[in-house]
A and B are shown apart, each in its own frame.
Chain A
Amino acid sequence: MESLFVRYRNLLVLLVLLVAQIVGLATQVRRTDSGRMGFDPGDGSGVRLLRLWANAVVSPPERAVEGSKTGMAGFWQNYFDLRNVRKQNKDLQDTIDRLRLEQAALLEDARQGQRLQGLMNFQQKYIYSTVAAQVIGSSGSDQSRVFYLDKGKDAGLAVDMAVITADGIVGKIRDVFPHSSQVLAINDQSSGAGVILETNRIRGILRGNAEGEAQIVGILADQRIQPGEKVLTAGGDQIFPRGLPVGVVEKVVRDPDRDAFIDIIIKPAAHIDRLDEVLVITATQPRFSNQQQQDISTSENLKGAEAAEALEKKKAAEIMAERLPGLIDPNLPADQQPLHETSNPSPVIRPPLPLHPDRFTPGAAAGSPDSGVAPSESTPETPAPTKPRSTESGSGKAPSSASATGKPHGTGTGDTTSSSTSKAKPATPRPQTTKPQTSTPQRNQ
C-alpha cells in the first residue's frame, strides 16, 4: 500500500489539488433566478481571504510603481513644463468664465426640469460628492476586465459606487479592500449599465464582449441607429446618475444568437484601456451639493454683472446719441433737423399738393400757369431741405427709386433694414414729388 502511494504520489497530489479546487469552485457558483449559472456575488470567507492576500501581495509593488511614475511625471512637469503655465492659466480662466456663463444660462432649464420632475414624482440624482483615485493595476486577464484603485474602505469607497472620468463612465466598484478597491469596467462581459441613445431615446443594457468592446445588447433590429450617435446613462440601474456620457455608436452588428436583435458597438467616451485617474461617486442627492450651489451663485452673480454692464453700455450709448451735435440740433426747427425723417420726433405735416393748382392755391400766384407750378421754388412755407437731399445723393440712391419702393426718404440708404424702416415716419410728404403720395396708399392697400 505504501509503495502504491510512493509510486503514484505525483498523480495523487495532482488529483487532490484538482478535486480541492473543483469543490472550491462548486461552492462559488449558484443557479440564478433565470435558471442560468452564475458566480455568487458575495464571496465566502475563504475566497475573500484569498482575494485579500492576492491584493496584499500585488498592491504594494503596483502602488510603488505608480508612485514613482507620478513622481517622475511631476518632476518633468515642474521643471520643464512651466513655460506654458501662465498661458494655460489664462486660457483655463477664460474657459471657467465661459463655462460659468453657460452654466448660468442652463440653470433655468435645470430648475424647470426639477420642477417638472417634482410634478411627476421623479427625483433626479445629482453627483453630490466624489473621491479622486489612481488606477494602480488590472486583473491581467482578458476574461476579467477589472482594475484596481489606490483608495479603498479608508477613503469611504463602497461596493456598487460608480466610477467615472471627466470624459464618461468607466465602471463600478465590485470589491473594496482596506486600502484599495476593485472596479468592474463597463466593457467586461459580466457588467451591466442602463444606457439610452441621446437622439432616438432607445434604451438598452451596456456590457462587454469577448474582444473587450462595449456593446448595447437586446435592441430590436428594426431600429434605425446611426454611427456617431451619443449614448448616455439612463439612470435606471441605481448606480450611474442619469445623463452621464457613455460613448458614441461605432457600428451596429447582428446579434449572433438572436436574429431579431442587433448589438450596438460603442466607442467609450473614457479611455478605458489607459486610465490613470478616475472619480468615484461616493454620494448622490436629489439636490445640488454645496460646492455646486456655490458655483451656481457665482455664475449667477457673474451673469447679473454682465447684464448690468450691458445696460450701462446701452445707457451710455443713449446719452451719447443725445449729446451728439450732428444728430439733433435744439436751435433748428423740427423740420430742418438733419435726419429728421428718422430722428425728428415731431415732423411737420404738409398738405398734399393739388393736382391742378389755380390762382387760389397758396404760392401758385407767383408761378405762371403755362409754365407749371414749381412749389419748391415758390412756396416759402415749404423750404426744400437740403440736408436730406445731399444725404440721398450721397448714398448713391435716386430719390425716385426710394419713393417707388414706398420707403421713406432720408433713411440714408435704399437697402434699409427693417428696424430703420420701422423707425421711419410713414407720412413725410415732399412737395417736390407727387409719386410717393399716390404710390404709398396703393401699396398699403
Chain B
Amino acid sequence: MPLLTANTRRDLEVHRYPAPVYLLVPVAALVLQALLPRFMGRYAWFDLPLVVTVYFALGRRSPIQGTFMGAILGLFEDALTHHAIGINGIAKTIAGYLAASVGIRIDVQNNAIRLLLNFALSLLCSGIYVFIYRVLLGMELDYNWLNELFRALGNSAVALILFPLLDRCQVRD
C-alpha cells in the first residue's frame, strides 16, 4: 500500500500543460466521442470525455478544476443528446471532483491505479446517470449493466493508451 501513496515530491507535483492542450484535448474528446460510434456501431464502449476529465483532474490535483472540467464536458455531452442537459453534467462533475481528491493522496503515475480509477469512476458515472434518470427525474429508462461494465473496461483500456500520450504534453520545469 505504501507503494501506491504519493510520498515523494515528484508524485505530489502539479502537472502543467500548455494552454491549447486544455482546450484542444477536451474538444477532440467530444468530437471523437461523437464521430467514432458511427464507425464502431454498438461496440463503441468508451467515454472519452470522462477519460479526459479523470486525466486532468488527476494531473492538476485540483478538485475545483476537476469539478469544472467534468461539469463542462458533461454538459456539452448532454447537449449533443436529445435528453435533458445536466444528467451527464452531474455525473462527470462528481467524477472530476473525486478523481482530483484521490489524486492528491495517491500516486497517479501508476498504471494500475489509473486503470482501476477509470474503471471505478466509469461505473460510478453510469450509476449516477441511472439514479438521476430513474429516481430524481422519475422517468423510464431501460439499461443494460453489461454494457456499462464493458464501457468501464473500455475506458480503462483507453486510459492506459491515452494517459502516457497526454503526459508527453506536460510542461517540464
Same complex origin of A and B:
yes
Residues in chain A within 8 A of chain B (CB atoms): 9-10, 13-14, 17-18, 21-22, 24-25, 28-29, 36-39, 47, 50-51, 53-55, 57-58, 61-62, 65, 135, 137-144, 146-148, 174-175, 182, 184, 188-190, 209-212, 273-275
Fill in one digit per residue for B65-92: 1 if any A CB lies within 8 Å of its CB, else 0: 0011001000111011111111111100
How many whole Å from A56's CB to the nearest CB in chain B?
10
Also in contact, A141 and B38, with CB within 8 A (given A36-B140, A50-B85): no
Q: Are B42 and A25 in contact (CB under 8 A)?
A: no
How many whole Å from A176's CB to the nearest CB in chain B?
13
Q: Are B81 and A139 in contact (CB under 8 A)?
A: yes
Number of A-B contacts (CB under 8 A): 155
Q: Are B90 and A22 in contact (CB under 8 A)?
A: yes
How many whole Å from A51's CB to the nearest CB in chain B?
5
Also in contact, A29 and B34, with CB within 8 A (given A22-B90, A37-B137): no
The answer to whether B155 has its CB under 8 Å from any CB of chain A is: no
Instruction: In the complex, identify which listed stretch (B1-9, B109-117, B142-150) lies at the interface while the others stay far away.
Output: B142-150
* A184 to B81 Cα, complex, angstroms: 9
* A370 to B144 Cα, complex, angstroms: 108
Give chain B's interface secondary structure class: helix
How many whole Å from B162's CB to the nearest CB in chain A?
16
Smallest CB-CB separation from B33: which chain A residue?
A: A140
Cβ–Cβ < 8 Å partners of A38 in chain B: 139
Q: Are A51 and B89 in contact (CB under 8 A)?
A: no
Also in contact, A51 and B85, with CB within 8 A (given A14-B63, A25-B136): yes
Give chain A's interface secondary structure class: mixed
Chain A to chain B: the 4 pairs with minimum beta-carbon distance, closest first: A144-B81, A54-B79, A210-B142, A140-B33
Q: Are B35 and A62 in contact (CB under 8 A)?
A: yes
* A65 to B36 Cα, complex, angstroms: 11
* A55 to B27 Cα, complex, angstroms: 12
Can you sample 21 A-B contacts with CB below 8 Å? A9-B64, A17-B68, A21-B71, A21-B89, A22-B90, A29-B137, A37-B139, A38-B139, A39-B83, A39-B139, A50-B79, A51-B85, A54-B30, A54-B76, A61-B35, A62-B31, A135-B38, A137-B35, A140-B44, A210-B147, A274-B41
